[in-house]
A and B are shown apart, each in its own frame.
Chain A
């Protein structure tokens, strides 16, 4: 899948959340989406997920104009929001069963249990999501998207609730996604962590794209751009 964003803009009333955004994302890319609060990161993720409609501009997947009215395209996009998008009064296994059926992925119970075991939730398959901690819910979300195999995976602040082994799990999953030719976009404030495994960084500020480069070491241009949007520094 190739994602092409052209002159994308989104307004909320009179406020420009995003304006004149151009991006071209290629298969296998893992892109860090950075920027201060209110820069437009979550808005961009929502636009890419089809949760909101753009005010102007286009998003194309493999050359096809994207709109929410295309279920076939929607099944190729995933949004991992830690501790969200899960039904509290269904068990971990039932949540996986529900979403895999919804995405038309045939997965027997053994595959669901194996996915839970991979994220360290074996033994919690029959527990209600309401009884899981935030970190466990995030692990369950990882298991969910592992089974659903989206070609474009969007992540909104995935690190906040995960412990060390959870972060390792997530990073190995993201690596797998990119190796298979998927695109991963991670919006996060944990800059050093997200840059560890991303091969591209994009910085948004006040809804505009202010930086877009492939990763280098050393990376003076990134350091300059980064210090501009966060003068007090975020590691």
Chain B
């Protein structure tokens, strides 16, 4: 069985489990929406300041909802010693990594598809034509978050206070992604183009590629340790 077919099999299993349990997606979905309402009540923003604040607020929402998803990512493997069953099998660690990162990416994208337009409505942003660019930047940032988050989630899998430990380990490492997405989004919302922030976009792409490759290569070691 190839790496990709193993990854698809794991993804099929995780999707089936999520469709039945619905705990990750529903929790992320409602938490994301709740955060938007909290932001809306907390910040009485003037229209000219919204474009400057929007990227940061959106990414705060994505970081917190994404971390909820990451905390649940290996839940099925923690039950019944199923991680041992996977370690015992011929499953490639890279395939497990790809499947888990992709699964978390799917959950986050589904949440973002709802959260971003809702943000536009709640904060009365009229730049609907810029949504495709905003989604592109968000997608690149989300890939980086899921890739690195899956690695960190596996690293903290056997830790006692993993729910506390995960954001402590993950958020500092996410700084390049957060910075790059916020800068790119700011520019898009201000000028409608990436302009001279293309360098940040390249950084995002580079981050995604490097950590995706590293994850596939080292996940066997990460999950065993």
Contacts and interface: CB of A to CB of B under 8 A. Distances in A.
Contacts of A79: 84, 88
B21 interface: yes
Interface stretch (B74-82, B167-175, B177-185): B74-82
Interface stretch (B12-20, B24-32, B42-50, B199-207): B12-20
Interface in A83-101: 83-90, 94, 98-99, 101
B130 to A, nearest CB: 41
A72 interface: yes
B106 interface: no
A16 B207 CA distance: 43
A149 interface: no
Contacts of A84: 80-82, 84-85
B163 interface: no
A51 B87 contact: yes
Interface in B70-97: 76, 79-82, 84-92
Contacts of B76: 87, 89
Range, interface on chain A: 20 to 34
Contacts of A90: 13, 16-17
B150 interface: no
B5 to A, nearest CB: 8
Interface string A28-61: 0000000000000000000001110100000000
Contacts of B16: 89-90, 94
B88 A71 contact: no
Residue with the highest number of chain A CB atoms closer than 10 Å, among B13, B91, B220:
B13
Interface size class of B (residues with CB under 8 A): 20 to 34
A114 interface: no
B136 interface: no
Contacts, number: 77
Nearest to B81: A84
Nearest to B224: A68
Contacts of A77: 88
A75 B13 contact: no
Contacts of A75: 89-90
Given A85-B82, A86-B82, A99 B89 contact: yes
Secondary structure class of chain B's binding surface, majority of residues? helix
Contacts of A215: none
A74 B90 contact: yes
Given A68-B224, A83-B80, A85-B82, A74 B89 contact: yes
Contacts of A104: 1, 90
A136 to B, nearest CB: 14
A85 B9 CA distance: 17
Contact of B79 (A74, A88, A102): A88
A8 interface: no
Nearest to A76: B90
Nearest to B17: A89
A187 to B, nearest CB: 15
A101 to B, nearest CB: 5
A71 B80 contact: no
B6 interface: yes
Contacts of B13: 87, 90, 98
The 8 A-B residue pairs with the shortest CB-CB distance, nearest first, are A85-B85, A71-B90, A75-B90, A104-B1, A84-B81, A89-B20, A74-B90, A84-B80
Given A81-B84, A98-B9, 7 more contacts: A72-B90, A74-B89, A79-B84, A86-B85, A87-B80, A103-B89, A104-B90
7 contacts: A51-B87, A69-B220, A84-B82, A85-B88, A87-B79, A87-B80, A87-B82
